[in-house]
Amino acid sequence: MNALYPIVPELITVHLGVPDNDEADNVTVTFQDYIKNVASSEIYPTWPEAALRANIYAQISFALNRIYTEFYPSRGKDFDITSSPAYDQTFVYGRDIYDNISEIVDEIFNDYIVRGSNIEPLYAVYCNGTTVTCNGLSQWGSVGLAENGLSAYDILASYYGNEINIVENAPVGQLEPSPPNLLLAEGSAGNDVKFIQIRLNRISTNYPSIPKIQYPDGIYGAETANAVKAFQRIFGLSQTGEVNRATWYKIQTVYNAVKQLSELESEGLRLEEVSNQFPAASVPGDSGTNVSAIQYYLHTISLFNPSIPSVEIDGYFGPSTEESVKAFQREYGLAQSGEVDADTWNTMFDAYYGIINTLSDEQLGYGHAPFPGVFLKIGAEGESVLTLQQYINAASTVYPAIPKVDEDGIFGSETRNAVYAAQAVFEFPINGIVGPLTWNALAETYDDVMSNTRSEYQYPGEIIGTEEANS
């Protein structure tokens, strides 16, 4: 990493033990959730607000310093920070979070302390100030200072020196696009608005108490405000009905999690093709469909179990696949050989199958079909082509540049032109041939569209009911 300016990461990987304990799990959580957890674990939520804020600024800066300096990766570790207060800050995975602390963190999670005009986030040392003293913020001391009326900044300056500054609103990595500069509220209009409308509709498929926005047309009316408010209520944000930074990022995060689930089916295996029959043992260095199957099971399990790292489904049993297999074996009480023998295979399939059977089809993906395994091009005919044409027509409601096609199951020049257009829109190589990339991109768009209430209305490009009619 080490960009010119610090970027607040979307996710942070926390080692649940001291650095040299190789048996301890790593968990990956959002940066906001990490700070909410640390703050709830380090201080009392009943303290005055200025003390809470001062402590939280210090906790954020400390974590960002670890990330910016790549402290643990540079020592060969596969995590960003540990949960041990002896080395870093207290983090209790899965703990309860205090609402007032959650609100403060949502506001300031991408603000941090620097010394003078330095770029590096401050290595903000702190301690309780009673049993442990240090050359930094005293947690108990901050309470007294806050009771005397000092602001959070003044409290920090009294411990870290007057030349400190607080950098505000640093960019957050990975979450594209960045939030709009202005609050989105009733009266706003534009692509930013359409972006969140489509995403809220997809999330509402899993959370039915979020009302659907019937026409995600990019205009923020009362319907959108109600959906935003319901989302805020469910995910612990202030219910303003307006999209501020924290709400924008939370919508992204939840949508990405929902999307990952729905992409399971498109990752390559139909349910009918999945077999619990143990093939042969797979070991690091192997490649082929057995390895793809293993990776698919591990990827699925990783979406539900934080102790299992995700893997790419590339059919090659490399180091990251081996690491994931070992984590799975540790978690499910098997010998950590890193190799997939009969026992490991059966346990893996058992876990995978349990997941698939517990959740509904809708939750796992709106039912879009996985890539049929055969590249589709002009001259092809059949079920898969028909499905492709349905996806193309759904996509054309979101991307007007993609022309509609006749759903006749025949891949002729009309369908090929639509594929050219789709590949241009998605910035794929434009060759008129539908492989897994093109298929999945169209299927995902179909998913999004199916999440919206069906209507004959065209969504994008047509503004509903404004006074802009040409005279």
Give the footprint of another protein on this chain (CB under 8 A).
41-47, 85, 90, 92-100, 102, 128, 130, 139-140, 143, 147, 206-209, 234-236, 253-254, 257-258, 260-261, 303-306, 347, 350-351, 353-355, 357-359, 363
| Residue (341 or 414) nearer to another protein, CB | 341
Pure H helices in 277-318: 289-302
| Residue (100 or 455) nearer to another protein, CB | 100
| Residue (217 or 265) nearer to another protein, CB | 265
| Residue (126 or 195) nearer to another protein, CB | 126
CB of 127 to another protein, least distance (A): 10
What whole-number distance in Å separates Cα of residue 290 and Cα of residue 279?
A: 7
CB of 440 to another protein, least distance (A): 19
| Residue (36 or 416) nearer to another protein, CB | 36
Q: What is the amino acid identity at position 27?
A: V
CB of 223 to another protein, least distance (A): 19
| Residue (7 or 52) nearer to another protein, CB | 52
Query: By C-alpha distance, which of 365, 319, 366, 325 is closest to 347?
Result: 325
CB of 410 to another protein, least distance (A): 37
Is the dihedral angle over the CA atoms 387, 389, 391, 394 positive or is it negative? Answer: negative
What whole-number distance in Å separates Cα of residue 336 and Cα of residue 325?
A: 8
* 220-253 as b/e: b if 16+ CB within 10 A: bbebbbebbbbbbeeeebbeebbbbbbbbbbbbb
Decide if 161 contacts 151 (C-beta within 8 A).
Answer: no
Give the DSSP letter string of 128-175: -SSS---SSEEHHHHHHHHHTT--HHHHHHHHH-TTEEEE-S--BSS-
Q: Is the peptide bond before 177 cis (omega within 30 degrees of 0)?
A: yes
Q: Phi and psi of 412, rounded to 5°?
A: -105, -160
What whole-number distance in Å separates Cα of residue 416 and Cα of residue 314?
A: 28
CB of 161 to another protein, least distance (A): 24
Cβ contacts of 73 within 8 Å, gap of 6 or more: 80
CB of 32 to another protein, least distance (A): 12
For residue 189, give the 3-state DSSP assignment: strand
Pure H helices in 133-286: 139-147, 152-160, 191-206, 222-234, 245-262
CB of 139 to another protein, least distance (A): 6
| Residue (21 or 358) nearer to another protein, CB | 358
| Residue (286 or 444) nearer to another protein, CB | 444
Query: By C-alpha distance, which of 119, 81, 113 is closest to 3?
Result: 119
CB of 209 to another protein, least distance (A): 5
| Residue (313 or 348) nearer to another protein, CB | 348
CB of 66 to another protein, least distance (A): 20
